[in-house]
Amino acid sequence: MRVFRRKAVWTMVFRRWESFSWRLIGFAAAVIAAGAGALAVENPVGEVPQPKNVILMVADGCGIEAYTLTRWMKGKELAVDSLEVALVKTHSTDSVITDSAPAASAYATGVRTSNGFLSVGPQAKVLSVLTPPPEDLQYRPLATVLEGAKLLGKATGIAVTCRVTHATPAAFMAHLPRRDDEQDLMIQVVHQNVDVVLGGGRELLLPTSAGGKRTDGRDLTKVLKARGYQTPQTRQELAKISGGKVFGLFAPGHLAPEIDRPQLGPDEPTLEEMTRKAIELLKADPDGFFLMIEGSQIDWACHANDPAYLVHEMLMFDRAVGAAAEFARQDGQTLLIVVSDHATGGLSIGNTGPLSKGNLTVETVVEPLRRMKCSATLLWKTLGKDPTPERIQTVLQEEWGIKTTPEEAGEVLAEVKRASKNPQNVFTFLSTRYTALGWTTHNHTGGDVALFTLGPGRPKGVLASPQVGQCIAQALGIDLDKLNQRLFVEPGKALPDVKVELLPEGAKTPQIVRLQAGQKRVELPLQENVLNNGDRSVELEGLCLYASQTKRVYVPLQVLRLLTDSQEPLPKITKE
Ligand SMILES: [Zn+2]
């Protein structure tokens, strides 16, 4: 009983914080708080069955202007054009301009957090318009809709074109306030038991001694093997798979940009192929599924102000959306949400250059982009070391269809000499001069983004980013409050008699938490879902985590049940 009393207090503190965007005030209350109709569920409860599946598609870094540009490029309607539309406010708790980590965390957990944080509660420092989070919430792991879907017996999947440990996918599968710690994130990802994981990042599975990038000596492919995963490495191998669990990483790092794929990654699947395969595999589950798909590199194209890279990423994302929408329409029980996490680059159709003067023709917009055959990154590589101005002129003519003057080649050369970190950015001034597109920054921007929906349970209006996560939870039938209480319990608070030790003793980054209650002692490797009890090992329903900032340990409630030999069933995570 003590367990539950403690949790009730925590929940109350939780609820008071940032009420206008806070998920734990409950869905119905959120509708009222957000204004009548602002977050209404399309179909009255009872008349239409709850959606069985949710597909979330994230166009990372995609502003509305990028959709418009892609429509002109495609020459016809985009797949999102036939969907309903809403807007999302994107800021994080500590910045008007969010990064991908808290943006994805809001969609994954229904909670807004700090820049750089992946599905853990925010730090104390927040924007002046927000109330600082309660102490209990800071750095606390926040349960994700993917974790909730798993507990409901639904199949789960992730398909992205970046490393699967990059911010957006990691926010659904892992919990860490440091998005760059991808080695740690991969430990959590392989221990999440997600049914279908497709993307890049193979080098994070293997130690350096085996050709990978892991510096902790661990070989995570062994975990995948022990858990029965198929591990295709090419699009051909993926195509052959017709069932079972899949952990398909098709490149050591990120997948190739779509525009460069024929040259750099011909054996990698496209986002559309991954989307179709993921749906095919997941829909076999009679309980339904949750699938998150990301067009990861739309963001990077915009960071580089690289228009050709951008439109090719967007056209492929459009095909993936088309595939998902086709399934959702046929299925009728699937909520499809297509959304960005923020915009990047400050893209505009129209700029201060010569091409934008007077009436702008379609051809003026699309022809320069059609002539570009590779990304700026590949262009940079093609230039080779120490390029001459003549070499620059030749390569730009061949690869981007731009006839530059000797002066412009000199400008590129000067940029080349200055650029060390982001060589792809040296062409930005040419992209502005030779296209009708404008860019204001190499970073993210702070505006609202579009959210497109199809199917039952779709949200409307101008949403706070956490409301997107709340809506997904609602659609899946998950009570996020109950889910948090079941997945992340502080053992010392829930059971005051339990002895909590971190091992190795005194280590800066502990590896194991040891719990002792009476004569019973168990060991829990951190960031994994494993309980070791002598020679017995149990796979848990969630991860065991340690927040180094607050020195708190979080384990699934299931651990305490096992520790105390309690037969009490685990509480339901569905709304009553
Ligand atoms: Zn992003």
Domain at 73, CATH number: 3.40.720.10
Ligand 1 center–CA 301 separation, angstroms: 12
Cα 38 from Cα 20, distance rounded (Å) = 12
Give the pLDDT mean for 82-110: 97
Ligand 1 center–CA 338 separation, angstroms: 14
Ligand 1 center–CA 6 separation, angstroms: 36
Ligand 1 center–CA 470 separation, angstroms: 19
Residue pair 513/505 in contact (Cβ under 8 Å)? The answer is: no
Q: Does residue 21 carry a pLDDT above 90?
A: no
Phi, psi dihedrals of residue 50, rounded to the nearest 5°: -60, 140
Look at the chain and report how many structural domains it folds into: 3
Lowest mean pLDDT among 191-200, 265-274, 370-379, 418-427: 418-427
Ligand 1 center–CA 92 separation, angstroms: 12
Give percent above pLDDT 70 in the chain.
91
Q: Does residue 28 carry a pLDDT above 60?
A: no
pLDDT one-digit tens code per residue, 453-511: 999 988 899 999 999 999 999 999 999 999 999 999 999 999 989 999 999 998 888 99
Structural tokens at position 318: 């459009």
Single out the residue of 333, 198, 169, 168 nearest to residue 278, CA to CA.
198
Give the pLDDT mean for 171-188: 97
State the DSSP string of 38-95. Answer: TT--SSPBTTBPPPSEEEEEEETT--HHHHHHHHHHHTS--GGGGSEEEEEE---SS-
Give the pLDDT mean for 320-326: 98
Residue 364 CA: distances (Å) to CA of 62, 113, 326, 431? 22, 42, 33, 13
Rounded to the nearest integer, the mean pLDDT of the chain is: 90
Phi, psi dihedrals of residue 442, rounded to the nearest 5°: -95, 10
Ligand 1 center–CA 442 separation, angstroms: 13
pLDDT one-digit tens code per residue, 355-382: 888 899 999 999 999 999 999 999 989 9
pTM score, whole prediction: 0.92
Structural tokens at position 290: 């949750």
Answer yes or no: is 353 within a domain: no
Cα 321 from Cα 314, distance rounded (Å) = 10
Structural tokens at position 153: 């017996």
Phi, psi dihedrals of residue 396, rounded to the nearest 5°: -65, -35
Ligand 1 center–CA 566 separation, angstroms: 43
Give the pLDDT mean for 516-524: 94
Cα 348 from Cα 239, distance rounded (Å) = 38
Domain at 521, CATH number: 3.30.457
Residue pair 60/474 in contact (Cβ under 8 Å)? The answer is: no
State the DSSP string of 472-536. Answer: HHHHHTB-HHHHHHHH-B-HHHH-TT-EEEEESTT-SS--EEEEEETTEEEEEETTS-EEEETTE
pLDDT one-digit tens code per residue, 113-123: 999 999 999 99
Answer yes or no: is 47 within a domain: yes
Give percent above pLDDT 90 in the chain.
82
Ligand 1 center–CA 501 separation, angstroms: 37
Are residues 494 and 365 part of one domain? no
Are residues 160 and 191 part of one domain? yes
Answer yes or no: is 354 within a domain: no
Give the per-residue pLDDT at 306. 95
Q: Quick one: DSSP state of residue 412? A: H
- Residue with token string 């569920």: 41
Give the per-residue pLDDT at 379. 92
Q: Does residue 417 carry a pLDDT above 90?
A: no
Ligand 1 center–CA 339 separation, angstroms: 11
Are residues 177 and 156 part of one domain? yes
Tally of CB atoms within 10 A around 294: 30
Q: Does residue 148 carry a pLDDT above 80?
A: yes
Ligand 1 center–CA 425 separation, angstroms: 18
Ligand 1 center–CA 315 separation, angstroms: 18
Ligand 1 center–CA 341 separation, angstroms: 5
Residue pair 418/374 in contact (Cβ under 8 Å)? The answer is: no
Structural tokens at position 286: 């009679």
Single out the residue of 113, 132, 95, 94 nearest to residue 103, CA to CA.
113
Are residues 463 and 395 part of one domain? no
Are residues 502 and 385 part of one domain? no
Ligand 1 center–CA 455 separation, angstroms: 25
Give the pLDDT mean for 433-451: 95
* Domain end marker among 436, 467, 500: 436
Residue 255 CA: distances (Å) to CA of 59, 181, 265? 16, 19, 7
Answer yes or no: is 471 within a domain: yes
Structural tokens at position 363: 């051809």
Are residues 472 and 450 part of one domain? yes
| HSE toward the beta carbon, residue 386, CA cutoff 13 A | 0
Ligand 1 center–CA 389 separation, angstroms: 35
Strands 196-200 and 246-249 come out as: parallel
Q: Does residue 101 carry a pLDDT above 80?
A: yes
Ligand 1 center–CA 445 separation, angstroms: 10
Ligand 1 center–CA 391 separation, angstroms: 35
Give the pLDDT mean for 413-423: 78
Are residues 49 and 35 part of one domain? yes
Question: pLDDT tier at 50 (50, 70, 90 boundaries)?
Answer: confident
Ligand 1 center–CA 62 separation, angstroms: 8
The pairs formed by 415-418 with CB atoms below 8 angstroms and a separation of 24 or more are: 416/383, 416/387
Exposed e or buried b per residue across 213-250, where buried means at least 16 C-beta atoms within 10 angstroms of its C-beta: bbeeebebbebbeeeebbbbeebebbeebeeebbbbbb
Ligand 1 center–CA 272 separation, angstroms: 20
Tally of CB atoms within 10 A around 403: 10
Lowest mean pLDDT among 41-55, 419-433, 476-490: 41-55
Tally of CB atoms within 10 A around 433: 17
Give the per-residue pLDDT at 431. 81
* Domain end marker among 426, 461, 485: 485
Structural tokens at position 18: 């940032």
Ligand 1 center–CA 166 separation, angstroms: 10
Ligand 1 center–CA 355 separation, angstroms: 30
Q: Does residue 135 carry a pLDDT above 50?
A: yes
Ligand 1 center–CA 495 separation, angstroms: 40
Q: Quick one: DSSP state of residue 163? A: E
Ligand 1 center–CA 183 separation, angstroms: 20
Answer yes or no: is 355 within a domain: no
* Domain end marker among 399, 418, 436: 436
Q: Between 44 and 452, where is the model more confident?
A: 452
445, containing H or E segment: strand 444-445
Domain at 400, CATH number: 1.10.60
Ligand 1 center–CA 4 separation, angstroms: 37
Ligand 1 center–CA 361 separation, angstroms: 31
Are residues 551 and 430 part of one domain? no
Give the per-residue pLDDT at 139. 97
Q: What angle do CA 140, 145, 151 make, to 5 degrees?
A: 95
Ligand 1 center–CA 7 separation, angstroms: 33
Ligand 1 center–CA 73 separation, angstroms: 23
Question: pLDDT tier at 49 (50, 70, 90 boundaries)?
Answer: low
Give the highest mean pLDDT range of 291-300, 374-383, 427-436: 291-300
Give the per-residue pLDDT at 439. 95
Ligand 1 center–CA 167 separation, angstroms: 8
Ligand 1 center–CA 310 separation, angstroms: 14
Give the pLDDT mean for 443-458: 95
Are residues 299 and 216 part of one domain? yes
Give the per-residue pLDDT at 164. 98
Ligand 1 center–CA 107 separation, angstroms: 12
Q: What is the span of the domain harbouring residue 522?
A: 489-563
Ligand 1 center–CA 61 separation, angstroms: 5
Structural tokens at position 549: 């900032």
Answer yes or no: is 22 within a domain: yes
Ligand 1 center–CA 227 separation, angstroms: 31
Answer yes or no: is 499 within a domain: yes
Ligand 1 center–CA 99 separation, angstroms: 6
Ligand 1 center–CA 443 separation, angstroms: 10
Are residues 171 and 82 part of one domain? yes
Cα 540 from Cα 193, distance rounded (Å) = 10
Answer yes or no: is 242 within a domain: yes
Are residues 117 and 249 part of one domain? yes
Cα 292 from Cα 549, distance rounded (Å) = 30
Residue pair 186/175 in contact (Cβ under 8 Å)? The answer is: no
Question: pLDDT tier at 420 (50, 70, 90 boundaries)?
Answer: low
Are residues 403 and 274 part of one domain? no
Ligand 1 center–CA 246 separation, angstroms: 25
State the DSSP string of 242-262. Answer: -SS-EEEE-SSSSPPPGGGHH
